[in-house]
Amino acid sequence: MPEIQYLGHACFRIRGRDGVVIMDPGQRTCGYDIGKQSANILTISHTHADHNHRDAVRPLKETLNVFEGPGEYEVGGVLVTGVRTYHDKKKGAEQGRNVVFVVHIDDVAIAHLGDLAHELSAAQVEEIGDVDVVFIPVGGHETLHAGEAAAIIAQLEPRIVIPMHYATANVASDVPMESVERFLTEMGIKEITAEEKLTVTQSNLPPEGVAARVVLMQPSASITSQLTVV
């Protein structure tokens, strides 16, 4: 029964019975101060500062297992799969590589797409596999914009979608990212209430074959007001 908390920008904390996972912690320049977090698993999709603040994460017990490349890993019953993708549409020539991480925790599969910026190939979709929840960038710039994000959702067919990596009214950005409202409009959503935490079980997931449920999450990290995105 993993509990999902959104720390802001592209950072999430997942707490399950078998461990705690932090995904893509960003430095204060990403617009949020996530403070000091504790976990036994840390995933980093790429090395840009708004996704790679490993100093903010301490070992939950004795060891912090850090994963930042493709492969298959297991830590205390939590399975982690890294799938190679790219931060641009030219196979990394402009912005470098990106790793999609899929975490299998408490019988729920959760995918963090990092700064994915292109349509997935059939091989990449197969590697990612069946996912229940997906954290997806929707703000454009050097990642997916709203329409592209919707296309990726159609490829992966998750049951819950949580948008990330977008401009907000409270965080000043020096890059032309889109707001989350544009993505919500693309998904046909007119009204939505942001949730502080989300607990996911197989029993409360939407049924297979129906449209994915979009969940907007309220960032729990304190706002630093300035966002620098690369």
Asked if residue 229 is part of any domain, the answer here is no
* Distance, CA of 199 to CA of 1 (rounded, Å): 6
- Residue-wise pLDDT tens digits, 138-189: 998 889 999 999 999 999 999 999 999 998 876 656 667 888 999 999 999 9
Do 62 and 81 touch, CB atoms closer than 8 A? no
* 16-29 core/surface letters (b: 16 or more CB in 10 A; e: else): bebbbbbbbbbbbe
Instruction: Give, as one character, the DSSP assignment of residue 225.
Output: S
Other residues' Cβ atoms within 10 Å of the Cβ of residue 182:
19
Instruction: Give, as one character, the DSSP assignment of residue 185.
Output: H
* 178 residue type, one letter: E
**Cα–Cα distances in angstroms (integers) from residue 201 to residues 11, 49, 159, in the given order:** 21, 32, 11
Please provide the size of the chain in residues. 230
Two tokens at 46? 């790429």
* Distance, CA of 204 to CA of 198 (rounded, Å): 11
Two tokens at 5? 């908390």
pLDDT score for 171: 66
* 171 residue type, one letter: V
* 198 residue type, one letter: L
pLDDT of 223 higher than 80: no
* Mean pLDDT of all residues in 68-93: 92
pLDDT score for 108: 97
Question: What's the structural domain count of the chain?
Answer: 1
Asked if residue 69 is part of any domain, the answer here is yes
- Cβ neighbours of residue 216 under 8 Å, at least 6 residues apart? 162, 163, 180, 184, 192, 193, 194, 195
pLDDT of 96 higher than 90: no
Instruction: Give, as one character, the DSSP assignment of residue 181.
Output: H
pLDDT score for 16: 95
In this prediction, what percent of the chain has a pLDDT beyond 90? 72
Q: Could you tell me which of 111, 116, 112 has the C-alpha nearest to residue 85? A: 116
The helix/strand/coil state of 104 is strand
In this prediction, what percent of the chain has a pLDDT beyond 70? 95
Asked if residue 133 is part of any domain, the answer here is yes
Do 200 and 2 touch, CB atoms closer than 8 A? yes
- HSE (CB half, 13 Å, CA atoms) of 213? 14
Asked if residue 230 is part of any domain, the answer here is no
Asked if residue 121 is part of any domain, the answer here is yes
* Mean pLDDT of all residues in 41-61: 93
Asked if residue 228 is part of any domain, the answer here is no
* Mean pLDDT of all residues in 198-223: 90
Most distant CA pair in the chain, distance: 46
pLDDT of 228 higher than 70: no
The whole domain housing 23 covers 3-223
Q: For residue 95, what is the domain's CATH number?
A: 3.60.15.10
pLDDT score for 30: 79
* Distance, CA of 101 to CA of 113 (rounded, Å): 7
pLDDT score for 78: 97
